[in-house]
Chains A and B, each alone.
Chain A
Amino acid sequence: MSAHHPAAPVGGKLLNTATLVSGLLVAAMLAILFVRFIFGLGAVTNLNDGYPWGIWVVFDVVIGSAFACGGFSVAMLVYIFNRGEYHPLVRPALLASLFGYTLAGVGVIFDLGRWWNFWHIFWPGHANPNSVMFEVALCISAYILVMWIEFSPVFLEKWGLKAEKKKLERVLFFFIALGTLLPMMHQSSLGTLLVVMGPQVNPLWQTPVVPLLYLLSAIAIGYGVVLFETCVASSAYRRQIEMHLLQPMARVMLGVLAVFVVVRFGDMIARGALGHAFAFSLEALFFWLETICFLLPFALAGRAADRRNPARLFLAGVALMLAGVLLRVNGFLIGYDTGVGVDHGWNYFPSIAEMLVTMGMFAIEVLGYIVITRRFPVLPRAEASAAH
């Protein structure tokens, strides 16, 4: 049975350096988006005929949603594997996920060249169930709704709507189950997006097991993000770090990561793709950068003694997040080549404007996290965690 720890608002001022900087970044983003919607994608992005997808897709959606897997990973641990002791981590992780996914969903609109038609994806006459993109879009949209429902007890608690909260909690188990299924579906499908691109994607990242790789890495990244967020929130709010939870959770993370590494290399050996890793190429270099980042958490937090050091847990989380970034950037951009290398040599590097929009999106997340944790009962009550 789950043990429930009370959550409480952190309190304090909403206006500080962090929120001010975030606010400025959001303002810059809005200005750029104004230009984008008036003059088109070409006016602000470096997208071209060889690279139709840039960082608005790869960072804001593919990576952004993987970073937002904390809620899914922790909820799965607590409710599916019945590890109630991790319950205090659920709400903060879910909050970050809620923002990550909602923004990924909104961010897609900025990138859609014919955004006013976006509803076609849900419309029976238009929707194409053979399309991986259709599955991803449908699943992410459903998950955003489910997450708001999962998180709504926080608002109901704050506004004193006890009867409504009780009613919702009676059916919450179903939404938790759905909230575990949906990310499994779309996180794997985000990898499957690569399959139809065929030989345009380097064999280091083009594999029929790509859905499993993306799913396993997303689950592991979910725990990595929780390590990262908990350490940052604790240091920013000058609270004690919940080491008694983070230590065993880091072990779970390493377990999932170990499975990932076995599948990753097993698949490459089985397909005979390992040779590409030893080629003298940019792709091979980035493959090894990615692999090092996936292995770093073992070096940083592999031993029990290491896991008692919060700095090592934090760094292990960061390394894994970076590994997740590289796996996705490598598949979608570094290892991608339009027309299988016979085109006239397209290049892509994001424009300043594109980067500012991506930073603006992350700034909204930071801003939202600060406002909600300071005003709503999300983080574990400070004195409760001090008592442990």
Chain B
Amino acid sequence: MSKVKLTIDGQKIEVDADSSILDAAKEIGVDIPVLCYHPDLTLHGACRVCVVEDEESGNLLASCATPVADGMNINTRSQKARKARRKNVELLLANHPNDCLGCDRNGQCELQDITHALGIQPEDVDRISGEERVFELDTVGPALKRDPNKCILCGRCVRICEEVQGVSALQFTQRGFNSIVTTAFDLPQAEINCANCGQCATVCPVGAITEMSEIEKVWAALEDDDKHVVVQTAPSIQATLGEEFGYEPGTVVTNKMVAALRRIGFDKVFSTDFAADLTILEEGSEFLKKINGEGELPHITSCCPGWVKYAEHNFPDLLKHLSSAKSPMQMFSALSKTYYPHQAGVEDEKIYTVAIMPCTAKKFEKEREEINSTRFQDTDAVLTTRELARMIKEMGINFNSLPEEEFDQLMGESTGAGAIFGTTGGVAEAAARTVKEKLTGEPLERLNLGFRGVNSAEVNIGDRTVTVAIANGLGNAEKLLEKVRAGECDFDFIEIMACPHGCVGGGGQPRPATNEKKDKRADGLKKIDDESFIRKSHENPQIIKLYKEFLGEPLGGESHHLLHTTYKERPKN
């Protein structure tokens, strides 16, 4: 890479020629504020919050979108630059609801932070206040809600939905003052081809797109003496929750999380990792049948509800390849209202099941009619990682000083295989471990499928080579599946995760999210796997007990009833 010499704030530096002024400034410790810019998305250059002054011409340049040039002399701190930045933020605020106190993002809002950093006062905004846009809120749910009045038109959601997910559920519509990001015909997000992945919510700098909160109903259940509230936590949460309490991304906080959940008042604290191991046994057995000629290959995973809904809209012809195994969350919930009350001697109608998930699509999944196997709704509430953090804060729990506690027995034991479900490649790897060992008795070395994009590997099982592929991010999934559809590739097992990096990059994870952070979170989960005493799903003693005492065999009658589901075609648009 050729280099370019320039001066920023009086400091001479040499940077790669393809850097932007923003990148170059970062190298010398200058953080220029940004709103529409996001490191993982294309440039938009719309908010003008990152303007800097070119000392030669006196012009203001959007530092995110202006490449460096030899001999450039940039002042990021000149009065002119600071005044312009302030004015641009004031103009955004002039048309922004002044209701921070009740906003979901209060205290975690990029616009609020910049307003505070620039010292903008209410009177500065009042002076320029004028006509305001009034849009209807989309609170149809069950996964996401939108308040277009808070939208600052940064376009991050539009770009991530189009560039990374290939869905384009959200778009800029109308023109000029009436411009707004919305869906086709302003339909609720629940009525369109949205996968509910929530990537839009992870990049939104303000409170315009967030999850539909279920905190209140969980408090109500916890405070109801007649309810026995059982909680399960998804594999990825243990490597992401810490961020909400100041830990580095990827720090594993499993045992503090368990302690916090007990203090919130959950009657039993279980792990979805346990059900991930169960998924592997069911799905692995299904895959075994398919490679023995019963059913069509490739076998495609179905544990990600964002992917499942996307497939129903866009690849209905491939639905027959999807595993009929429910997601770990739904398997757990079905067992929490059958196996658990049976074993624990609790009346099943008293059980209230809460799932802590990295995901907004899970809120939708639990509402699917065909997903319920008990006489109740199997999962009563789904909370995102962010919602759990808010409950911990509301309870006044000092997370950092919590003791280390263990999950409750019966459905709390998990393996390394279960933990890596929370990152891309994890499901494929966990399945391969079990399938290979069941068929040949030989253990599997690590597949190391990597964290980003599309990847594939070959696993030698006896005299047969099984080809495994993974894709994360729906845009990547689309490319891979178009090839499958066209018969251009010949994979046996395909793992798909709707979110980039899998669940560690989920729509319900701590904000703001970047690829760099997600890599670290995935490393955290791999570490759990490396350090696990048991690393294969079929060796989980609680799973062995479950089959022995309750379910019988994988794919057997009871398993089929409680642990498997169906899918249906949905319109493309």
A, B: real partners: no
List the interface of chain B (C-beta within 8 A of A). Answer: none
